[in-house]
Amino acid sequence: MATRSTHNKNNSAVKRILQEARELANDPSTDYVAAPLEEDIFEWHCTIRGSPDTEFEGGLYHVRILLPGEYPFRPPSIMMLTPNGRFELNTKICISFTNYHEELWQPAWGIRTAIIGLQGFFPLKGKDAVGVGAIEYPVSERKRLAALSRNWTCPHCQQPNIELLPDPPAASSDAAPAQAQPPEAAVSSAPPAIVAHVPSGPVAAHPPTPGEGRHVPAELAAMTASMTPFAPQAVVPQRQPQQQQQAVRQPQTNVLAMFDFAIATTLMLLAYFLGKKLGVL
């Protein structure tokens, strides 16, 4: 990415724009892609993905973003380049974070903020959709334009939208390896599946319903698996008393043997002296 020689890199606007360009390049999104023009960093081109579950789903729309010399203290201007049925083409759009509403703009916002906000304005209808640059096409026409927008090519970028913002990988391809796992690996894979459902909706904020009982065996299995390493320890205390009893019995046996030996020796001595006294010996 190059800048014009007339741009002073020590200028605060240039510094901010270059910083945002690096951030967008280092942290890409599957919903949009944006970059400044090589010949003018104050003009950006962006491709955004249509909102899911709307007539714009599957569509890819090319956007032109113009930054003022006082950026980020003044907001950008946004113009649509791809036919979409929601906004006029090559016309500055009137939404809350564009040059039409400078009083609402905050310097902490940036190009990413404007892009995400534009995506949120696409599916609005009725009074919320009214403004400079807004148009109202039938849903069927918007769907038709969404299908055509994928191969629409920007005259300046010379690339179709589908190449600038390819579709993300399908989720089904990631689920296939999990089904191929052996049964013994199901316990370790169950917790990630439960966690994956927590942020998806309001289920986490309410007690589980009877239909959600299927998750309990996985948790119990995980608890059982975590307790198995302690099983060998239960055998050790049972062996220690046996070893102690054997250690105690061994000294007792030695004492009895010594006691029997002493008695036998005493009897022999008594018999010897008695026989000698009687003259037998």
SS3 content of the chain, % helix, strand, coil (to 5): 55, 10, 35
Q: How far is CA 2 from the centre of its chain?
A: 34
pLDDT bin (cut points 50, 70, 90) of residue 130 is: confident
Model pLDDT for residues 75-117, shown as the tens digit of each residue:
999 999 999 999 999 999 998 889 888 999 999 999 999 999 9
Q: What is the mean pLDDT of residues 239-261?
A: 54
- How many whole angstroms separate alpha carbon 61 and alpha carbon 76? 18
Percent of the chain residues topping a pLDDT of 70: 62
Question: Before 72, cis peptide (omega within 30)?
Answer: yes
Question: Does residue 81 fall inside a structural domain?
Answer: yes
Instruction: Pick the last residue of a domain from 132, 164, 196.
Output: 164
Q: Which of 76, 75, 53, 74 is nearest to 65 (CA)?
A: 76
Whole domain around residue 264: which residue ranges?
A: 240-277
Q: Are both 25 and 139 inside the same structural domain?
A: yes
Catalytic option among 46, 94, 154, 157: 94
- How many whole angstroms separate alpha carbon 135 and alpha carbon 130? 8
Q: Is the pLDDT of residue 204 over 70?
A: no
Question: Does residue 64 fall inside a structural domain?
Answer: yes
Domain count of the chain?
A: 2
C-beta separation of 13 from 67 below 8 A: yes
Q: Are both 17 and 145 inside the same structural domain?
A: yes
Residue 111 identity: I
Instruction: Pick the last residue of a domain from 137, 164, 191.
Output: 164
46 catalytic? Reply is no
Question: Does residue 125 fall inside a structural domain?
Answer: yes
Exposure b/e, 35-68, CB count within 10 A at least 16 = b: bbbeeebbebbbbbbbbeebbbeebbbbbbbbbe
pLDDT value of residue 280: 57
Question: Does residue 193 fall inside a structural domain?
Answer: no
- How many whole angstroms separate alpha carbon 185 and alpha carbon 203? 26
Instruction: Pick the last residue of a domain from 119, 134, 164.
Output: 164
- Domain holding 49: CATH number? 3.10.110.10
116 Cβ contact partners less than 8 Å away, ≥ 6 residues apart: 32
